[in-house]
Amino acid sequence: MLLRDHLARWLNGEPVPWRNIDTTAGEWLDACELHGVTELVSRQLHLRHECDWPGHVVQEITNRARLAVVSEQVRGRETASVLRALSGCGVRAVLLKGTALAYTVYDSPSLRPRADTDIIVFREQTGEVRRVLRELGYQATPYCDGERLFCQFELQRTDDLGVVHAFDVHWKISTQSMFADALTCGELVAESVPVPALGAAARAASTRHALLLACIHPAMHHRNEERLIWLLDVHLLASRLSAAEMESFAELAVAKRVAAVCARELARARAAFGTAVPSHVIHFLRAHAGGEPSAEYLDPSRRWHHELLSNLRGLPGWRSRLSLLREVLVPGAQYMKHAYGITGRWTGAAALPALYLHRGALGAWKVLTHLK
Closest of 154, 159, 128, 129 to residue 335, by C-alpha? 154
Q: How many angstroms separate the CA atoms of 218 and 215, rounded? A: 7
Q: How many angstroms separate the CA atoms of 4 and 11, rounded? A: 11
The tens digit of pLDDT for each residue in 311-321 reads 667 667 767 66
The tens digit of pLDDT for each residue in 215-247 reads 999 987 777 888 999 999 999 999 999 999 999
Query: Which residues are registered as beta bridge partners of 194?
Result: 203
Q: Which residues of the chain have pLDDT under 70?
A: 1, 142-150, 302-312, 314-315, 318, 320-341, 343-350, 352, 355-356, 358-372
Tell me the domain boundaries of the chain. 3-68, 215-291
Question: Residue 309 to residues 79, 100, 256, 304: CA-CA distances in angstroms?
Answer: 36, 31, 20, 9
DSSP-assigned letter for residue 103: T
pLDDT at position 365: 47
Q: What share of the chain is helix, strand, coil (3-state, %, to 5)?
A: 60, 5, 30
117-120/164-170 β-pairing? parallel
pLDDT at position 368: 42
pLDDT at position 364: 47
